[in-house]
Amino acid sequence: MDAPRSILRGPEPSLRVTDLHRQLLDRLLGAVAALGATPEQAAAAVRLDLPKNRDHGDVAFGAFQLAKLLGQAPPALAAAVAGALPPDDLLESATSAGPFVNFRFRRAALARAVLTAIQAQAAPYGPSPATGQTVCIDFSSPNIAKPFHIGHMRSTVIGNALCRIHRHLGNSVQGINHLGDWGMPFAKMMTAYMRWGNETELHRSPMRYMFDLYKRYGQEVKQNPALDDEAAKHFQALESGADNAERRMWQLLRDESLQAFQGPYSRLGVTFDHITGESFFEDKMEAAMARVTATGVLERSEGAEVVWLKEQGIKEPCILRKSDGTTLYHTRDLAAVFHREATFHPHRILYVVGAEQKLHFDQLKAVLQKMREPIAAAVEHVPFGLVLSKTEDGKWEKFASRAGNAVFLDEILDEAVAKVRSIIREKNPDLPNADQVAEQVGVSAIVFNDLKNSRIKDVKFDWDSMLNFDGETGPYVQYACARLGSILRKVDLPVPAADQVDLGALADAERVLLVMLDFGTAVQRAAEQSEPSHVTAHTIALAGEIHSYLRDHYVVGAEPAVRDARLVLVDAARRLLVTGLRLLGIEAPERM
């Protein structure tokens, strides 16, 4: 049997599963207790899993760990457990297969549990009760005075989805935009503006103008390396805390950048609880440095203050202050960790930052571990791959314009919306609110394409694939929602309560119901692994199963008892698809 995926272990109330699973777990715990397991042994070793092959059963129990604790052979224990769980109103069968026990629910119980819970928006289909745990999610974090380009999108949409998923699970979430508004990159931008800038041009098109200035700096410094010395002096002046030209320049460029960033954020449906860039920690870095110094881990190396991490397997030292007295990213990140610890008391701090920054976060965590700071356990880097585009010769390379420049995200979103408008004009020219639908579908196609695969993989940016209404895409799932809504409108009857219809009429819908049953597991795994693709995969699977079911099973025109049962199923599928898309930050148009 393939390796199972855990959905429920012992009496852990924090895991979001259905009452169906909980009832089975209670019976399973009672059975293993009767076979001699103590409550402690059962809590440590009893869990329900999802078998990869659903032909084996709806859920499974692997007896390995419990058998070891009881000193028994796993196959013998599995057979004893199966024998101790005779069928009842919930359970159709419990059969042993080697060291596993496979369970199959009665289909009427499955339909009743799933459909009534979805209608009631009970957890896991609706928001879960508060867990008392806080998760800080540091995401997006573009550099001010630089364009919001396609590369920033990955952190933004992954982080946004994780915020939504954790809130759904009852966690308190602090979504943080840790802007890059400090340090030498900004000092270079400031130097360029002081030398060649024009405020009228800045206000006309802020991000493009600043981007052009930054490119000019990069060209000029090749001929005049002293520009970097000038930028370093400007940064020293900025860090002095004085009310000077550098401080006023910083404020101007920061304000212009934030206003410009709001465009992409609004279109992506992204909001933040805190926009606290690196500059927010300017007055907190000395306290952070003092805290590091007090632990005795700080050393001097060539005039700089560093923490050596060789015992943690990291050769490069973590530099916290350069020889000229200025700070670095690590200094500000340490100050941020301490601030978040004191302010939010987080259970987890997630940094949704590209895989190329692995060393930085390895060093950050290692410094905290060397300091013996408990908050180190909360620090988690959530890496992701690149966005790739196809070159004219068919190769996949890092996304760039034909000129090799940064690609503004707004341009990409505009192009996606224009392509969807063209599809609408061809396939449904009378669609109401066509422009609104084009915006929803076009933007969502890009977001869904980003989230549908494991985040660590590179994303292939392919227009034909993303905008396909028949593949594993955002438009495909959105169309499923719209189609289900259309069926409900055509029937033009109130959707009955699930407990008021003949659920036996849905015996042929078990594949749809089993996918619905898996929703809580998908959301839970997405949160635990910081992997939104689990939710994306669930929406694709549910859309596919309900499409297949409706090919052979009519709702409109069916006899009343069957029609009513299928109405409940269609309504539940629509609700669950809308919820899944919402967790991904994607809208579900009513008509397409």
Is there a common fold for 5-105 and 409-583?
Answer: no
Distance CA 570, CA 504 (A): 16
Q: How many CA atoms lie within 13 A of 98 on its CB side?
A: 5
pLDDT, position 16:
43
Query: Of 291, 292, 321, 296, which is closest to residue 306 (Cα–Cα)?
Result: 321
Residues 6+ apart with CB under 8 A from 122: 116
Residues 6+ apart with CB under 8 A from 502: 561, 562, 564, 565
Q: Answer whether CATH 3.30.1360.70 is correct for domain 5-105.
A: yes
Mark the ranges of the chain whose per-residue pLDDT is less than 50: 1-8, 10-16, 401-404
pLDDT, position 400:
60
Instruction: Give residue for tokens 């916290």.
Output: 320
Distance CA 340, CA 223 (A): 43
Distance CA 189, CA 217 (A): 8
pLDDT, position 239:
83
Cis peptide before 124 (omega within 30 of 0): yes
Cα 385 from chain centroid (whole Å): 14
User: What residues does each domain of the chain span?
Assistant: 5-105, 409-583
Sheet with strand 318-321: strands edge to edge: 299-301, 304-307, 318-321
Give 409-583's CATH code, choosing from 1.10.730.10, 2.60.120.380, 3.90.245.10, 3.40.50.300: 1.10.730.10
State which amino acid sits at residue 351: Y
Exposure letters 396-427 (e unless 16+ CB within 10 A, then b):
eeebbeeeeebbbbbebbeebbebbbebbeee
Phi then psi for residue 89, to 5 deg, are -65, -25
Reduce the DSSP state of residue 469 to 3 states and report it. Answer: coil
Distance CA 167, CA 136 (A): 11
Instruction: Give residue for tokens 């693709």.
Output: 533
pLDDT in tens, 469-522: 888 999 999 999 999 999 999 999 999 999 999 999 999 999 999 999 999 989
Distance CA 381, CA 365 (A): 9
Distance CA 397, CA 400 (A): 8
pLDDT, position 402:
43
Strand-strand pairing, 396-398 and 387-390: antiparallel
Burial level of 499, CB count in 10 A (0-12/13-18/19+)?
Answer: exposed
